[in-house]
A = this chain, B = another copy of it.
Amino acid sequence: VSTSKPDTATAEADCLRGIGSQRLWSRLMTLGEIGALADGGVNRQALSEAEIAAWQYLTGLAAQGTGRPIEVSTDAAGNLFLTLPGRYRDLPPVLLGSHLDSQPAGGRFDGAYGVLSALEVLLTRAERGLESERDLIAVGWMNEEGSRFAPGMMGSQAFAGAAGIDEIRTVCDADGISVGAALDHLHTVFAGLPRRALGFPVAAYFELHIEQGPLLEAAGTNIGVVSGIQGKKTWRIEIDGESGHAGTLAMRDRRDPLAAFARVAVALDNELGHADEQVKFTIGRVVAEPNAPSVVPRKLTFSIDLRHPDNAMLTRLGMQVEALCSANARSCSVRAVPLVDAPSNGFDPQLGRLIETAASAFGYSSMPILSAAGHDARYLAQVTPSAMIFIPCREGISHSPAEWSTPEQVGAGADVLYATLEAWLQTQNQERHDAS
């Protein structure tokens, strides 16, 4: 359809200018103030007032762009889309992004970095007058973290059709507020935004993220070319017992779900948590009811997060969960509710090669890496060619106020995202020209 061939030499030169890391860094630090905790961490959980404020900050940045205007829209799942229009609006767009929500005591980089970098790539292209055939969209997926509403990655799952929006809307937080009510509130605050169809066709997806692990830092490598994401299974386990007075209820008559939990947790940790060097087993959340010092609890609920890069091993370990819980709960009753069941997946190798080439054009070192953490890209990969770019983070620490990457590391990742997109667009143009 296009008749003018893009000026490849100019595009390559632009590409090698990267995106100028100073403005991106400064915006990342500003975004980190939205939902900031006193210790430097961030509490910006999904669909909270803090995340709404983050949307306002992002849409404000989009409106300030000096190039072509960036269009803001959303969808039924509360995903945020910032679109730099291409020449042919009916072509499936390219998505770049991550998420704006954080853990209750999270850091400034996880998710926020990917969305801001995507917007920075779009703004930079607009400022430099670079046009593309397709729309380019910076996206912020709803509730990646899954801390306020479990499980996580709700926005990308709904977009990819991996979960139904009606079911997602019924999930409630600890205060009994449903995703549906929180989504409606978000859409009331942003009442003027056009609503896109859920799961529109996408040409490709790129997500830039901190590694959340120690490998890149340990190897002294600038860029991780993510080969895939390790498999993950999660459960909510409910142990029911019988409440009573701590001073009067005889020990032999007790059905104490907290005492049962302790035995269950030790058994799970022994059997699953030390199965091999690669397994990750975590109980991150525990809630006793009524949770009073002089009352034998009536109920205890806890979370299991189990991950392994090998799907067969993950399946084998996961099959033991329910039996280990029941066998160690003695007189209490146990219910194991499976939440996430995401096998390990591999990203598009062709996109991986583009990332590697882009990194090397800037003189950045790169290495293939398996993501130990889950990401929205897991679900996007089910509907479109997808890729992830990692940068190192200090000591591998994430989901913590201590999460940190340097301005140079942040800039390098954004450069590679910018150049990878450019290279991919050229490939597409080439394909379209070859086909025409």
Q: Would you give the shortest CB distance from A141 to chain B, in whole angstroms?
A: 16
Q: What residues on B are CB-neighbors of A124 within 8 Å? A: none
Q: What residues on B are CB-neighbors of A252 within 8 Å? A: 277
Whole-angstrom CA separation of A346 from B378 in the bound complex: 67
* Chain A, range 399-418, C-beta contacts under 8 Å to B: 399-400, 402
- Contact yes or no, B292 A103, CB < 8 A: yes
Whole-angstrom CA separation of A32 from B339 in the bound complex: 39
* Chain A, range 247-269, C-beta contacts under 8 Å to B: 247-252, 256, 258-259, 261-263, 265-266, 269
Q: Would you give the shortest CB distance from A329 to chain B, in whole angstroms?
A: 13
* Chain A, range 377-404, C-beta contacts under 8 Å to B: 396-400, 402
How many chain-A residues does the 8 Å CB contact rule pick out? 71
Of B104, B297, B372, the residue contacting A284 (CB under 8 A) is: B297
Residue A420 is within 8 A (CB to CB) of chain B in the complex: no
- Contact yes or no, B297 A292, CB < 8 A: no
1/0 per residue A135-163: CB within 8 Å of B? Answer: 00000000001110011100000000000
- Contact yes or no, B288 A295, CB < 8 A: no
Residue A280 is within 8 A (CB to CB) of chain B in the complex: yes
- Contact yes or no, B396 A246, CB < 8 A: no
Residue A245 is within 8 A (CB to CB) of chain B in the complex: yes
Q: What residues on B are CB-neighbors of A243 within 8 Å? A: 105, 397, 399-400, 402
- Contact yes or no, B284 A291, CB < 8 A: yes
Residue A29 is within 8 A (CB to CB) of chain B in the complex: no
Given contacts A247-B212, A399-B244, contact A269 B262 (CB under 8 A): yes
* Chain A, range 313-329, C-beta contacts under 8 Å to B: none
- Contact yes or no, B266 A262, CB < 8 A: yes
Residue A373 is within 8 A (CB to CB) of chain B in the complex: yes
Given contacts A292-B147, A294-B152, contact A307 B246 (CB under 8 A): yes
Whole-angstrom CA separation of A293 from B280 in the bound complex: 13
Residue A125 is within 8 A (CB to CB) of chain B in the complex: no
- Contact yes or no, B290 A103, CB < 8 A: yes
Q: Would you give the shortest CB distance from A267 to chain B, in whole angstroms?
A: 9
Given contacts A247-B212, A292-B147, A294-B284, contact A265 B273 (CB under 8 A): no
Whole-angstrom CA separation of A292 from B151 in the bound complex: 11
- Contact yes or no, A295 B103, CB < 8 A: yes
Q: What residues on B are CB-neighbors of A374 within 8 Å? A: 247
Residue A206 is within 8 A (CB to CB) of chain B in the complex: no
- A contact residues vs B (CB 8 Å cutoff): 103-105, 145-147, 150-152, 211-214, 230, 232, 234, 243-252, 256, 258-259, 261-263, 265-266, 269, 273-274, 277, 279-298, 303, 305, 307, 371-374, 396-400, 402
Counting from the closest, the 3 A-B pairs by CB-CB distance are A262-B265, A213-B248, A246-B282
Q: Would you list 15 pairs from A and B whose C-beta atoms are within 8 A, ordered by A residue?
A: A103-B294, A103-B295, A146-B293, A212-B247, A232-B247, A244-B398, A251-B274, A258-B284, A262-B269, A284-B293, A286-B291, A293-B305, A294-B399, A295-B399, A298-B400
